[in-house]
């Protein structure tokens, strides 16, 4: 993944700092609380939600089982419709391919459709190094880009910002990247949207090259699908001559009909809408054949970047079903308090906690801490439209971390505790010793125990364990 | 009817009153209670921390301890959830016929409110508890077991009890086992929000079905000096006019 996140602190430290940030807490509480309630209402409207969810899971699992087959079909059909398919094993290769393609057009700037895959590989930075400017056109991505900030949410990357902060970013920074913000800009949503519209319109009309991702790719027809709310994506997908789409290999669906399921699940889960305002579909280039309705030149870069490793893990691979709806973030009590930046990845929240350590490995302290960034409350699994059992994968990844070399001591301690619990004689002796010394137990613990006693009293040790009560009264 | 009480290690060591209340309640309802002494921990803390293999002896022990009982009752949503969801996963990887033994045990293990409502078919257990109470449905009972409104139905039938709705009830209290230590800041922030919501109801008692969540919330409330005491559902249901509940 992108180098932007290297060297960040482990989740607990970053989260502890975020918890102290009152403004961030208020922004997140408000934003996630609102969307959470709306999603619940939108989902409750569909009597067959459980069946849709099961169908989506089945389609994705079936596709992942024969991913190679569907990708080859996709390549054939994209090619037949006039597009060119490129295969990128990792971020570096993908960046090299895209940079080369832009250079070949002779252009020095591109407009971008909101895309997670291009953030994952750090494409904007790679393009900048090659002297090519990439302009984000999704409103929230624009806010993040103008603010030299990092995204903190999959769907609403600037969720950590409120209206006042956005106004300041527009007023201060728009002029550096193009048309300045209007004089006297206030924090009224309509004014902010108008400022963004004017700023972006200039770029849409000028751009010759666009870069996008895709929500779905249809193997059967070679069609790509982008689902969005603003219409800015549609501008990028239709106006420029050349379109380069960078898409993770897990985004392929076998047939056109499969869209029926996903186009119902995604908008309700993501924005709580019955249907999203813009769904753009294109097949190849418009020059080629009766079915071709894409741009003049179309390139599809299929991105692996760790995905085949995820696929090899029977438990972990379910993370590849993800359709990036963000429902798990919006419902997560840990995300709400820690904020997206604490996850140190473009994929924050519950899905990030299981995806990032699988894509990047668990070598760094940050990546090794992500599987523990959860109380395992299960709210994410409950809302996930493709039924990813996130708690199951978290525990599975904890096992991977715990088996690692840094955890020899903790592993020994866990084994010792299990040994005592498996020997009732020892357990009873330990319980009785605790009961006898109960008046000596301190209120506040030193060392790691402080994590409990900083904000909570220790439980009082009872005069006798239940076993002894039972023996005296019923035994 | 004879049942085995699965007291759980946390209740055994730290909150015997919950197990004692469960015994009193079940006996009052005409159930004969056994406490198989071979029982221990279900392995939840080890399993959830990634030490799956360390759980294997505990799974074997649980299977052995409760062999021969048609009903096993535990006053803990998360321990029953561990038996139902984690034990099969541990057993599947352990081999040695453990999976079959686990598969045979799991359908016989009930969380207390499930046992009362589904097996005994009672909602009014004849309890008396004249206090305002609010109820926090712990996550594993709520989402992994699907307890639904069973605990609330039991509480509504308690004479004298005023049940006050807890806003945001379904949100996690922030305990999460080792999460409370590994991510103490976020855990504490979640506990603070949960206790604030509970206090705002005006209840005197914060009722729950999982002792570990109650220890975490109770410890937070005591540190705050807040006028709200945690009680397990079993303790409220054990209380009668003739014998009001008093923790031993
Ligand atoms: S894991 Fe599920 S809920 Fe979370 S973003 Fe992906 S599809 Fe949505």
Residue A166 sits in a domain whose CATH number is 3.40.50.10420
In a domain, A49, yes or no: yes
Average pLDDT over residues A404-408: 74
Report yes or no: A52 and A264 within 8 Å, Cβ to Cβ.
Answer: yes
A248: closest CA among A117, A114, A96? A117
Are residues B29 and B101 both part of a single domain? yes
In a domain, A416, yes or no: no
Q: From the CB of A386, is ligand 1 less than 6 Å away? A: yes
In a domain, A257, yes or no: yes
What CATH number corresponds to the domain at position B210?
3.40.50
In a domain, A286, yes or no: yes
Question: Of the residues A290, A307, A324, which one is the last residue of a structural domain?
Answer: A307
In a domain, B245, yes or no: no
Question: Of the residues A277, A307, A337, which one is the last residue of a structural domain?
Answer: A307
The torsion angle over the Cα atoms of residues A446, A447, A452 and A455, rounded to 10 degrees, is: 60
pLDDT surpassing 80 at residue B230 = yes
Average pLDDT over residues B71-77: 98
pLDDT of residue A174: 97
- ipTM of predicted assembly, 2 dp: 0.95
In a domain, B243, yes or no: no
B51 vs A334: CB contact, 8 Å cut-off? no
Are residues B9 and B61 both part of a single domain? yes
Write out chain A residues lying below 8 Å of B46, CB-based.
414, 417-418
Q: From the CB of A57, is ligand 1 less than 6 Å away? A: no
Q: How far is residue A247 CA from its own chain's centroid?
A: 15
Q: Whose CA is nearest to atom 3 of ligand 1?
A: A384
In a domain, B125, yes or no: no
Structural domain for A433, as ranges:
423-473
pLDDT of residue A289: 59
Please tell me the total count of domains within chain B: 2
Please tell me the total count of domains within chain A: 2
pLDDT surpassing 50 at residue A3 = no
Q: Whose CA is nearest to atom 8 of ligand 1?
A: A325
Please report the atom of ligand 1 found closest to the CA of residue A380: 3
Question: Of the residues B120, B152, B172, which one is the last residue of a structural domain?
Answer: B120
In a domain, B73, yes or no: yes
Q: Whose CA is nearest to atom 4 of ligand 1?
A: A328
pLDDT of residue A148: 93
Distance, CA of A156 to CA of A136 (rounded, Å): 13
B48 vs A395: CB contact, 8 Å cut-off? yes
Structural domain for B213, as ranges:
132-238
B144 vs A378: CB contact, 8 Å cut-off? yes
pLDDT surpassing 90 at residue A71 = yes
Shortest Cα distance, chain A CAs vs residue B137, angstroms: 11
A403 vs B180: CB contact, 8 Å cut-off? no
A88: closest CA among A305, A261, A251? A305
- From the CA of B106, how far away is ligand 1's center (Å)? 30
CB pairs under 8 A between A and B: 182
Q: From the CB of A116, is ligand 1 less than 6 Å away? A: no
In a domain, A374, yes or no: no
In a domain, A409, yes or no: no
pLDDT surpassing 60 at residue B98 = yes
pLDDT surpassing 80 at residue B46 = yes
- pLDDT, tens only, B174-205: 999 999 999 999 999 999 999 999 999 999 99
Write out chain B residues lying below 8 Å of A418, CB-based.
41, 43, 46, 51, 54-55, 57-58
pLDDT of residue B35: 98
In a domain, A272, yes or no: yes
A427 vs B40: CB contact, 8 Å cut-off? yes
Are residues B104 and B176 both part of a single domain? no
Using CB atoms, pick whichever of A373, A418, A454 lies closest to residue B183: A373
Shortest Cα distance, chain B CAs vs residue A339, angstroms: 11
Are residues B11 and B115 both part of a single domain? yes
Average pLDDT over residues B167-171: 96
A337 vs B178: CB contact, 8 Å cut-off? no
Are residues B136 and B94 both part of a single domain? no
pLDDT surpassing 80 at residue A440 = no
pLDDT of residue A292: 67
Average pLDDT over residues B48-76: 96
Pocket test for ligand 1, best of A271, A351, A390 (most atoms within 8 A of CB): A351
- From the CA of A325, how far away is ligand 1's center (Å)? 5
- From the CA of A209, how far away is ligand 1's center (Å)? 30
Are residues B143 and B88 both part of a single domain? no
Question: Of the residues A278, A307, A336, which one is the last residue of a structural domain?
Answer: A307
pLDDT of residue A450: 81
pLDDT of residue A138: 96
- pLDDT, tens only, A224-268: 999 999 999 999 999 999 999 999 999 999 999 999 999 999 999
């Amino acid at each position: 993944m992108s180098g932007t996140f290297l060297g960040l602190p482990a989740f607990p430290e970053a989260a502890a700092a975020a918890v102290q940030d009152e403004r961030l807490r208020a922004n997140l509480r408000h934003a996630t609380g609102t969307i959470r309630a709306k999603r619940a209402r939108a989902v409750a409207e569909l009597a067959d939600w459980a069946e849709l969810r099961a169908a989506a899971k089945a389609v994705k699992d079936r596709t992942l089982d024969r991913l190679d087959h569907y990708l080859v079909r996709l390549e054939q059909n994209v090619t037949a419709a006039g597009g060119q398919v490129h295969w990128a094993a990792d971020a570096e290769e993908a960046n090299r391919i895209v940079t080369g393609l832009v250079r070949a057009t002779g252009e020095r700037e591109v407009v971008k459709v909101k895309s997670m895959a291009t953030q994952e590989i750090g494409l904007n930075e790679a393009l900048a190094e090659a002297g090519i400017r990439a302009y984000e056109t999704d409103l929230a991505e624009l806010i993040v880009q103008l603010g030299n900030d990092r995204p903190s949410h999959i769907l609403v990357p600037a969720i950590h910002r409120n209206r006042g902060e956005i106004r300041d970013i527009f007023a201060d920074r728009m002029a550096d990247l193009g048309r300045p913000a209007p004089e006297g800009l206030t924090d009224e949503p309509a004014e902010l949207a108008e400022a963004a519209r004017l700023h972006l319109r200039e770029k849409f009309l000028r751009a010759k090259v666009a870069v996008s991702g895709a929500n779905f790719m249809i193997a059967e027809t070679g069609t790509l699908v982008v689902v969005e709310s603003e219409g800015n994506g549609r501008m990028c997908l239709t106006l420029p001559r050349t379109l380069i789409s960078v898409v993770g290999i897990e985004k392929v669906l076998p047939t056109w009909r499969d869209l029926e399921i996903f186009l119902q699940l995604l908008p309700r889960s993501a924005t709580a809408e019955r249907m999203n305002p813009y769904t753009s579909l294109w097949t190849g280039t418009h020059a080629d054949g009766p079915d071709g309705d894409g741009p003049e030149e179309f390139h599809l870069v299929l991105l692996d970047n760790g995905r085949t490793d995820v696929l090899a893990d029977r438990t972990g691979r379910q993370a590849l079903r993800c359709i990036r709806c963000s429902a798990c973030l919006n419902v997560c009590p840990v995300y709400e308090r820690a904020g997206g930046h604490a996850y140190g990845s473009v994929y924050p929240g519950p899905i990030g906690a299981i995806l990032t350590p699988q894509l990047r490995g668990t070598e760094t302290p940050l990546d090794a801490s992500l599987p523990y960034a959860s109380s395992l409350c299960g709210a994410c699994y409950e809302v996930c439209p493709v039924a990813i059992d996130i708690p199951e994968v978290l525990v599975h990844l904890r096992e991977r971390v715990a088996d690692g070399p840094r955890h020899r001591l903790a592993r020994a301690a866990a084994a010792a505790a299990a040994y005592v619990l498996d020997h009732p004689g020892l357990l009873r002796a330990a319980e009785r010793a605790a009961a006898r010394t109960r008046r000596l137990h301190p209120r506040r613990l030193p060392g790691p125990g402080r994590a409990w006693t900083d904000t909570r009293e220790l439980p009082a040790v009872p005069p006798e364990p239940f076993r002894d009560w039972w023996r005296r009264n019923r035994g | 009817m004879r049942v085995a009480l699965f007291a759980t290690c946390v209740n055994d060591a730290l909150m015997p009153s919950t197990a004692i209340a469960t015994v009193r309640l079940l006996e009052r309802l005409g159930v004969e209670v056994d406490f198989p002494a071979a029982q221990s921990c279900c392995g939840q803390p080890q399993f959830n921390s990634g030490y799956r293999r360390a759980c294997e002896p505990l799974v074997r022990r649980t299977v052995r301890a409760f062999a021969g009982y048609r009903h096993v009752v535990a006053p803990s949503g998360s321990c029953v959830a561990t038996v139902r969801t984690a034990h099969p996963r541990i057993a599947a990887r352990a081999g040695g016929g453990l999976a079959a033994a686990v598969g045979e045990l799991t359908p016989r293990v009930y969380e207390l409110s499930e046992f009362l409502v589904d097996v005994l078919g009672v909602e009014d257990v004849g309890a008396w508890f004249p206090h305002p109470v609010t109820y926090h449905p712990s996550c594993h009972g709520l989402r992994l077991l699907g307890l639904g409104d069973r605990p609330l139905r039991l509480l509504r039938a308690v004479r004298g009890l005023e049940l006050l709705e807890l806003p945001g009830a379904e949100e996690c209290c922030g305990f999460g086992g080792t999460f409370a230590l590994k991510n103490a800041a976020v855990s504490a922030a979640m506990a603070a929000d949960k206790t604030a919501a509970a206090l705002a109801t005006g209840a005197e008692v914060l009722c729950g079905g999982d002792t570990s969540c109650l220890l975490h919330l109770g410890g937070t409330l005591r540190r705050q000096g807040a006028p709200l005491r945690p009680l397990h559902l079993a303790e409220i249901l054990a209380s009668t006019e003739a014998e009001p509940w008093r923790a031993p």
